[in-house]
C-alpha cells in the first residue's frame, strides 16, 4: 500500500489511489459499506472502436444493430424481463470503510 501511494505521488497523481480490492473485501465483511445496484453487464465484442468495453444496463438491453453470428448476446424485446447478472457498486461510505480498514491493519478490532 505504501509503495502504491509513493508511486502515485511521484507520478503526480496525488494521494487518491483506487482501493478496489480492499473495498471488495470490506463489502464482504460489512455489506453496508457499499451501495450496490443490480445491472446486466455485457461486453462489446463487435465494435471497431469499442471491442472489449463493458456496458451496464439497468433494464433489459435493446440492441439497435443487427446481431453478428458470433454474438453470444441476443437482442431482447422491449417487454423482456430484466435479468441482472451483476451487482455494481455505485456508492461508498468512506468513513465506515476506513474505520474497518484501519482496524484490520492495526489489529484493534
Any domain includes 5: no
Any domain includes 13: no
> Any idea what DSSP says for residue 72?
S
Which residue is listed with cell 455485457? 42
- Longest Cα–Cα distance in the chain: 57
pLDDT at 62: 65
Instruction: Name which of 16, 38, 102 is nearest 4 in CA terms.
Output: 16
pTM score: 0.66
pLDDT at 38: 94
pLDDT at 85: 93
> Which tens digits make up the pLDDT trace of 38-85?
999 988 888 777 888 988 888 876 666 655 555 555 555 667 788 899
Domains in the chain, number? 1
Any domain includes 45: yes
pLDDT over 70 percentage in the chain: 81
Domain housing 82: 18-64+73-106
Check if the beta carbon of residue 64 is closer than 8 Å to that of residue 75: no
Higher-confidence residue of 35 and 13: namely: 35
Any domain includes 6: no
Any domain includes 55: yes
Any domain includes 9: no
Which is it for strands 54-57 and 34-43: parallel, antiparallel or unpaired? antiparallel
Amino acid at each position: 500500500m505504501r509503495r502504491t501511494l509513493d508511486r502515485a505521488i511521484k507520478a503526480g497523481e496525488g494521494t487518491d489511489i483506487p482501493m478496489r480490492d480492499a473495498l471488495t473485501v470490506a463489502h464482504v465483511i460489512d455489506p453496508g459499506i457499499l451501495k450496490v445496484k443490480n445491472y446486466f453487464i455485457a461486453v462489446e465484442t463487435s465494435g471497431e472502436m469499442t471491442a472489449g468495453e463493458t456496458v451496464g444496463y439497468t433494464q433489459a438491453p435493446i440492441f439497435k444493430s443487427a446481431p453478428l453470428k458470433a454474438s453470444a448476446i441476443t437482442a431482447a424485446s422491449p417487454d423482456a424481463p430484466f435479468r441482472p447478472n451483476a451487482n455494481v457498486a455505485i456508492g461508498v461510505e468512506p468513513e465506515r470503510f476506513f474505520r474497518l480498514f484501519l482496524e484490520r491493519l492495526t489489529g484493534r478490532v
